[in-house]
Structures are given as structure tokens and as C-alpha cells.
């Protein structure tokens, strides 16, 4: 749930004079030169990523290198002042009127060919509310971050000439497009809120539940008249697994949404459950050469040999993988679902797909 007066991602540029980032026996000036980038990479390790339950390192595809916080130091005397101003701007843009802390997570260098597939961080600590990326001056092309949320897409392209930063809520689906030349050099931070905070950030508070109450009351009347089915599905913003979904495990925005429904359920005869939904598409796929693909599928095929875009979708089914009560206790699992009962229009398009490719004659399930 993102209110109309706050962003789900944004970009800002700022100038930090005489900035310098220092790692062991490697003191690069800004902007970063290629010889300095190569020295940093020698100290770094290949950045892994998660696909499903697996942790994968794909060197030919990703060309992404990382240093842990204990491998380098930020020695610029103005850095802490700069970071405080960044956090203040982030808090205002994202509607976070609580005390926000920035925890340094990684230094990343993306060289030519680096790409980060569309994904969402689903295993953050419960007090992590957003991801902050600070770009350090380094000449490069490409490497824009694309964010998708509720059918909207925004791109964040960090400056290659001066310090800039981008920020987005934790759990949003995002990807880093290929770096086509040079070195993309960034610091990443986890933005956290004290676990002791009992109130939601301003941007996530429910301002008025009366319209929602009225809509559900009208729906109940139509259900009693047998003109509508007796349940519906509202898709939350974040992705959850069968093992992790419960009220206490919800991300901030989803928690605000469910709490509003819970409050209404005390006044109307409705029950609230949480579920993991799945859409499966089956069809034919055939690689006919780069000229036959859309730009997005061409990009995915170039950087992921295992990706096979569907030529024809022969069947599409929806199912409830698991349903739990608000405590996370199991109710049932594996039930077919009528897609018409999902309120939002095609929210599955924002979610990275996993496929089962059957080979000849070119069938694929995803």
C-alpha cells in the first residue's frame, strides 16, 4: 500500500566534494578509473543471487562483484553528513516519519555485461523497510534499475559524474539492466526502523476505512442475493512463501492493508485469510532468432540461456498453493482458483517466472 503522496522509488543527485572510498591497499580517487576498478575487483568476490530456493553465481552472465562492509572503509570527512542528508530526503520521499537507520550492506562493481534479473528481496529482516543505493562517480553506460509496482514501472539511472542515490521499498520487484560499457560503482544500504516502533509510518497508515467498509457491505448484500460469489482475493505487494506467510511476517505496506481489513471484520461478518497464489501457463515455445523476439525477451534470452518465451499460451490456470489464518496456521492447500475472483488486473506480470522446459517439440510450463 503506497499512498498517493509518496514514492515507491525515486532518484536524486547530489555533490560530495573530495569523496573517496577506500578498501584494503586500494585507494581509488573519484571518478573511478579502469585500473582502480580492476584493483577493487581483485579484492572482491562474485556476487551471488537467489532464484527460488537456490543461491546461484553466474559469472559469464552477471559480471557483478561485491565487497562486504568489513573489507573497506569510507574515510571522507563529509560522508556521515552526506549520508544523514540522504536519509532525511529518503524519509520524506517514502513517507517514513519514524527514525530511519542506514545499515551499510555491500559495495558493488558491475562491469560490462553485468545484469541482475527481475527479483524481489523476500528474506529481509522484519525491520528493513527500504533499499538505498548510492552511486559513486564512475564512467559507465546502461545499468539502469527498473522497478515495478502495481502495474507501474519506473527506472532509476544513477549519475556517472557525481554522487547520486536511488531508493525503493523493500520487497518490490526490480532488475538491473545490462551495463554496456564501463563500471557501475555503488554502495547499498538496508534502511531499517527500530523494532520497538509500534506505529506504522505515515505513508502506510490507513487514513479512513469508511469507503472500504461501505464497499464490503455492498458486496455482502450482493452475496446474500446470490448475485456474487462469497469470496474474493486481493493481492498484496510483496511475495511470500508457504512457510513464511502470516500476519506477523507481513511487510509494512501489506500489514497496513490487512489490519484495515481486520478492523472491518470486527464490524461485518467477514473472515480474513492469507494465501499464496500461483498462475501456471502451458504452451509452445520456439526460438526463431533475435529478429522475432520482443526487446525484453531478446534481452532475457541473451543473458539467460534457460529462458524460453512462450509463442502460444495453450492453457492458463490459477491455484491457491496454501491458505492460512492470520496466525499462519494451515487451512488448506492446492485448490483451483477462478481468476475472476482476483480483484486486481494481472498482477502476475510483475513477478519473475520459473519455467519447466520440456524440450522437443518445444513445450514450456511456467
Q: For 14-49, what is each residue's pLDDT tens digit?
A: 555 444 444 444 555 667 888 888 998 898 888 775
Q: Where are the domains of the chain?
A: 9-193, 206-365
Q: How far is 134 from 243, CA to CA, in rounded Å?
A: 33
Q: Which residues pair with 175 in a beta bridge?
A: 146
Alpha-carbon separation of residue 325 from 40, 94, 209, 331 (angstroms):
49, 30, 22, 7
> What does the pLDDT read at residue 352?
60
Output the nine-digit C-alpha cell for 173. 520487484
Q: How far is 255 from 232, CA to CA, in rounded Å?
A: 18
Residue 119: enclosing H or E segment and its boundaries?
A: strand 116-119
Q: How far is 168 from 131, CA to CA, in rounded Å?
A: 6
Instruction: Write the CATH number of the domain with boundaries 9-193.
Output: 2.60.120
- Residue 89 CB: number of other CB atoms within 10 A? 15
| Backbone phi and psi for residue 190, each to the nearest 5 degrees, phi listed first | -95, 125
Is pLDDT at 120 greater than 90 in this prediction? no
Alpha-carbon separation of residue 284 from 138, 330, 355 (angstroms):
43, 36, 12
| Angle at CA of residue 13, ends 11 and 17, nearest 5° | 150
Alpha-carbon separation of residue 142 from 4, 48, 160, 297, 346 (angstroms):
30, 21, 10, 17, 29
Query: 97-111, 170-184, 343-357: which has the highest mean pLDDT?
Result: 97-111
Q: Return the minimum-mean-pLDDT range out of 29-38, 78-87, 134-143.
A: 29-38
Query: 50-54, 86-90, 101-105, 309-313: which has the highest mean pLDDT?
Result: 101-105
Residue-wise pLDDT for 272-298, tens only, equals 999 888 888 777 776 555 544 444 444
Amino acid at each position: 500500500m503506497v499512498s498517493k503522496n509518496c514514492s515507491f522509488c525515486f532518484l536524486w543527485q547530489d555533490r560530495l566534494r573530495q569523496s573517496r572510498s577506500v578498501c584494503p591497499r586500494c585507494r581509488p580517487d573519484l571518478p573511478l578509473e579502469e585500473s582502480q576498478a580492476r584493483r577493487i575487483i581483485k579484492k572482491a568476490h562474485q556476487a551471488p543471487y537467489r532464484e527460488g530456493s537456490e543461491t546461484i553465481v553466474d559469472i559469464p552472465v552477471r559480471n557483478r562483484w561485491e565487497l562486504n562492509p568489513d573489507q573497506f572503509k569510507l574515510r571522507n570527512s563529509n560522508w556521515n553528513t552526506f549520508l544523514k542528508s540522504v536519509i532525511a530526503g529518503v524519509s520524506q520521499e517514502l513517507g517514513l516519519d519514524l527514525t530511519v537507520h542506514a545499515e551499510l550492506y555491500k559495495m558493488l562493481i558491475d562491469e560490462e555485461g553485468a545484469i541482475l534479473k527481475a527479483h524481489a528481496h523476500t528474506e529481509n529482516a522484519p525491520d528493513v523497510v527500504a533499499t538505498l543505493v548510492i552511486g559513486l562517480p564512475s564512467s559507465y553506460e546502461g545499468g539502469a534499475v527498473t522497478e515495478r509496482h502495481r502495474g507501474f514501472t519506473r527506472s532509476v539511472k544513477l549519475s556517472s559524474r557525481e554522487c547520486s542515490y536511488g531508493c525503493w521499498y523493500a520487497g518490490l520487484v526490480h532488475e538491473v539492466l545490462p551495463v554496456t560499457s564501463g563500471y557501475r560503482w555503488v554502495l547499498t544500504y538496508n534502511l531499517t526502523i527500530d523494532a520497538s516502533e509500534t506505529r506504522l509510518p505515515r505513508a502506510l497508515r490507513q487514513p479512513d476505512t469508511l469507503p472500504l467498509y461501505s464497499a464490503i457491505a455492498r458486496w455482502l448484500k450482493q452475496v446474500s442475493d446470490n448475485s456474487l460469489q462469497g469470496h474474493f482475493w486481493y493481492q498484496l505487494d510483496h511475495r511470500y512463501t508457504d512457510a513464511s506467510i502470516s500476519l506477523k511476517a507481513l511487510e509494512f505496506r501489506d500489514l497496513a492493508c490487512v489490519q484495515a481489513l481486520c478492523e472491518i471484520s470486527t464490524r461485518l461478518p467477514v473472515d480474513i485469510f492469507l494465501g499464496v497464489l500461483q498462475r501456471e501457463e502451458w504452451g509452445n515455445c520456439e526460438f526463431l532468432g533475435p529478429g522475432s523476439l520482443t526487446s525484453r525477451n531478446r534481452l532475457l534470452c541473451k543473458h539467460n540461456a534457460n529462458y524460453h518465451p512462450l509463442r502460444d499460451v495453450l492453457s492458463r490456470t490459477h491455484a491457491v498453493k496454501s491458505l492460512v489464518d492470520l496466525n499462519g496456521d494451515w487451512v488448506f492447500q492446492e485448490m483451483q482458483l477462478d481468476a475472476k475472483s482476483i480483484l486486481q488486473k494481472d498482477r502476475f506480470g510483475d513477478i519473475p517466472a520459473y519455467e519447466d522446459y520440456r524440450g522437443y517439440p518445444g513445450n514450456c510450463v511456467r
